[in-house]
Amino acid sequence: MTVHIDETTGPPGRPPAPPASSGGSEPPAPPEFRLPTWRLALTVGVVVLGGLLFGFDTGVVSGALLFLKDDFQLTSFQEGAVISSLLLGAAAGALWSGRLADRWGRRRTLIAVAATFTLGLLLATVSAGFWTLVAARVVLGLAVGSASSLVPLYLAEVAPARLRGRLITVNQIMLTAGILVSYLINLWFAGDADWRAMFGAGLVPSVVMLIGLLFVPESPVWAARRQRERADGNGSGNGSGNGSGVPGGDRAGEPGRFAAPRGMLYEPVVRRALLIGLTIGAVQQFAGINTIIYYAPSIMSRAGLPATNSIMYSVAIGVANLLMTVAAIPLVDRAGRKPLLVGSLVGMAVALVPLGFALNGVFGGASHLVSLVSMGLYVSAFAVGIGPVFWILSAEVFPPAVRARGAALCALVNWAANFVVGQLFLPAADALGEAAVFWFFAAVCVAALVFVLRVVPETKNRSFDAIQRDLEAGTAAARRKRRAASAPAPAPMPTHSPAPVPAPGPLPVAHD
């Protein structure tokens, strides 16, 4: 029996929402089939190990690289390749994960992701040289990119609307915890310079995730769409039912093919969802978060603070990131997504301005202290807002027929922006100075603030159908506004003065 979660209702006290008019409306789940609390907790606990491995594989290389570069005699270019190969693999994984999740189902795709994590960590642990290590990092990148979009997507589809934001934020907590755990493991094995053990430690959660996924349910949303497509196909007999109300969709009854028609990505509502998801995904990286995560010790050293132990500084940043992400859990479903985005962007912009001045030495001997405080405030503002909220929105704003592909595209843009910023930060800092670069990040935050205030809807405690209706209403309003702006102004009515009436002439005289 398929387990369903009732997503047709909004917050307590609100009447059930009618189906959205969008072609990809949510199939109503029978309310009698609910996931028990204990099983929901177990399911979330297993699936968010993908977030933990996401963070672990991103952060572990920072410590391992200190030692493996001597073992393999790596050049600076090769060191950069070891780091960037994961980002390129992640972009590819994010690109394909949505299509696979639509064809195979969320659960089976997540099992493949866990197996990929395990394979990549094994390859990294036994690497015999540079090329083997790069191959291992590409494999890990495929898993990281897939997990970055699929884990929030799966959590969004199994969670009740009132808990959806908090459960997706648990994944973000596990991501930041994974980064922190990787730093602590690096610290633990640094004394022995055992970089293989640093990578090998990740095998524990990857194997636990692989085994645990065998016992979690399929996404009720995907399962309901599959059942409806099969019923439509059996009922019509023409093989044209697609379960999404979109003509020309996948043929019903064909196992594993539940992808939406490609043209649906160009529908107005989906375009608006893409605008929101892709923009917030790019802003999350172009606001500079990974320059702080990757280069914090170098930044503090240039500000005058002796960087005698780079791993310890990384641990401090990781602790701040984790604590503020935990603080976001009760806020995403109480304060809402949009207020958190606004507060986060304001806090990040405010923190980046004094950081730039400190890097210019404006504060003299206190510059290193100002830098440290500014980075702490910046990371805190990021972790409580745009850090988790981006992943929540990317799993919420798309219609079900394109939700997996839409979330995958958002993750792809996020990883591509991550790669671009990571590659350009040091050259830009050398050419323009670190202060100018961080002020650019502050300007990005201000521009994003305007975008959020004008475009991003509030989604807290909203069913998927209600979110789609909000997007449709916003799309229709924007269309009317554009029409009104482009319509020619009506010509003024001509004003004609009445023609003058000629004065009567003399009456004719009658003659006899």
pLDDT band at 15 (very low <50, low <70, confident <90, very high): very low
> Given this model, what pLDDT does residue 310 score?
56
DSSP of 186-225:
HHHHHTTT-HHHHHHTTHHHHHHHHHHGGGSPPPHHHHHH
Instruction: Tell me the average pLDDT across 196-202.
Output: 95
What is the residue type of 411?
Answer: A
Instruction: Tell me the average pLDDT across 61-89.
Output: 84
> Given this model, what pLDDT does residue 248 score?
35
The CA-to-CA distance between both ends of the chain, in Å, stands at 119
What is d(CA 68, CA 86) in angstroms, rounded to the nearest whole number?
16
pLDDT band at 450 (very low <50, low <70, confident <90, very high): very high
Res 240 pLDDT > 60? no
Q: What is the pLDDT of residues 328-364, one digit of tens each?
A: 888 888 888 999 999 999 999 999 999 999 888 888 8
The CB-side HSE value for 248 (13 A sphere, CA atoms) comes to: 4
Instruction: Tell me the average pLDDT across 359-382.
Output: 85
Output the CA torsion sign for 72, 77, 81, 82: positive
User: Which pair of tokens denotes residue 338?
Assistant: 């949009």
Res 197 pLDDT > 60? yes
Does pTM top 0.95 for this prediction? Answer: no
pLDDT band at 403 (very low <50, low <70, confident <90, very high): confident
What are the helix (H) ranges across 213-336? 220-236, 268-286, 289-302, 310-332
Q: Which of 269, 275, 277, 276 is nearest to 479 (CA)?
A: 269
Residue 482: enclosing H or E segment and its boundaries? helix 464-486
DSSP of 339-386:
HHHHHHHHHHHHHHHHHHHHHTTTTGGGHHHHHHHHHHHHHHHHHHTH
Q: What is the pLDDT of residues 119-139, one digit of tens each?
A: 999 999 999 999 999 999 999
pLDDT band at 254 (very low <50, low <70, confident <90, very high): very low
DSSP symbol at 276: H
What is the residue type of 201?
Answer: A
> Given this model, what pLDDT does residue 298 score?
65
Percent of the chain whose pLDDT exceeds 90: 32
pLDDT band at 282 (very low <50, low <70, confident <90, very high): very high
> Given this model, what pLDDT does residue 360 score?
86
> Given this model, what pLDDT does residue 469 score?
86
Res 38 pLDDT > 80? yes
> Given this model, what pLDDT does residue 285 score?
93
pLDDT band at 250 (very low <50, low <70, confident <90, very high): very low
Instruction: Tell me the average pLDDT across 77-103.
Output: 86
Least-confidence region, from 109-113, 235-239, 410-414: 235-239
> Given this model, what pLDDT does residue 274 score?
92
Instruction: Tell me the average pLDDT across 220-234.
Output: 77
User: Which pair of tokens denotes residue 245?
Assistant: 């109300």
Res 365 pLDDT > 50? yes
Question: 3-state class of 334 per DSSP?
Answer: coil
> Given this model, what pLDDT does residue 21 score?
42
